[in-house]
């Protein structure tokens, strides 16, 4: 099937996010990146090159979880582009990037024709993103995975 990705302005995106994202997703930015050493409120304080590259890869895998609905590597390109373009500008903000993926997920799953089911699937994708994929790719201390042994 064909995938169409619409580009909208930042102001439109913020309005769309706050009105279209389920209430269960709103107000989670603090829990997603609270105390993040990457962002001091105005300027990103760390080189995000590797982090953003890992997030692009994670967005691909998050998208391909919908392969049973016909998603292909080609149809996952919009997910990767969202993360590629938004990662550095948001300082790898897991919540903001997760909301963007939620919107893309809902857009592409609209072929299901079942709003509540689409919301459930995309909410699960969002929760996986902010709780697992994004923090593990960028915010966890890299030494947690290394031992002297």
Mean pLDDT of 60-74: 97
Q: Which residues of 20-50 are buried (b: 16+ CB within 10 A; e: fewer)?
A: ebeeebeebeeebbeebebbeeeebeeebee
Helix 77-86 and helix 49-64, axial crossing angle in degrees, nearest 10: 150
Nearest to 66 by CA among 22, 111, 99, 26: 111
Mean pLDDT of 102-128: 98
SS3 (DSSP) at 34? coil
User: Tokens for 27?
Assistant: 């107000």
For the entire predicted model, the pTM comes to: 0.69
Provide the pLDDT for residue 149.
52
Mean pLDDT of 115-124: 98
Integer CA distances (angstroms), 35 to 65, 97, 136, 140, in order: 30, 17, 15, 11
Asked if residue 13 belongs to a domain, the reply is no
Asked if residue 87 belongs to a domain, the reply is yes
The domain of 56 spans 46-139
Mean pLDDT of 56-65: 98
Give, as one character, the DSSP assignment of residue 130: I
d(CA 7, CA 15): 14
Phi, psi of 37 (to 5 degrees): -75, -5
Asked if residue 38 belongs to a domain, the reply is no
Helix 94-109 and helix 77-86, axial crossing angle in degrees, nearest 10: 160
Count structural domains, the chain.
1
pLDDT at 50 over 80: yes
Task: Please count the other Cβ atoms lying within 10 Å of the Cβ belonging to residue 70.
Answer: 10
| 71 vs 39, higher pLDDT | 71
**pLDDT per position as a tens digit, 69-88:** 999 999 999 999 999 999 98
Asked if residue 106 belongs to a domain, the reply is yes
Asked if residue 125 belongs to a domain, the reply is yes
Asked if residue 57 belongs to a domain, the reply is yes
| 97 vs 144, higher pLDDT | 97
Asked if residue 59 belongs to a domain, the reply is yes
Provide the pLDDT for residue 58.
97
53 burial level (CB within 10 Å; 0-12, 13-18, 19+): middle
Asked if residue 35 belongs to a domain, the reply is no
């Amino acid at each position: 099937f064909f995938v169409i990705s619409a580009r909208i302005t930042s102001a439109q995106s913020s309005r769309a996010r706050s009105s279209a994202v389920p209430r269960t997703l709103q107000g989670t930015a603090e829990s997603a990146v609270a105390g993040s050493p990457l962002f001091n409120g105005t300027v990103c304080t760390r080189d995000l090159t590797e982090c953003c590259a890992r997030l692009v890869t994670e967005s691909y895998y998050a998208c391909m979880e919908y392969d049973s609905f016909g998603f292909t590597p080609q149809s996952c390109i919009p997910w990767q582009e969202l993360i590629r373009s938004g990662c550095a500008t948001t300082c790898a903000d897991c919540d903001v990037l997760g909301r963007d993926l939620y919107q893309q997920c809902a857009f592409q799953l609209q072929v299901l024709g079942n709003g509540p089911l689409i919301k459930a699937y995309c909410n699960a994708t969002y929760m996986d993103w902010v709780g697992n994929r994004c923090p593990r790719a960028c915010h966890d201390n890299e030494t947690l995975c290394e031992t002297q042994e």
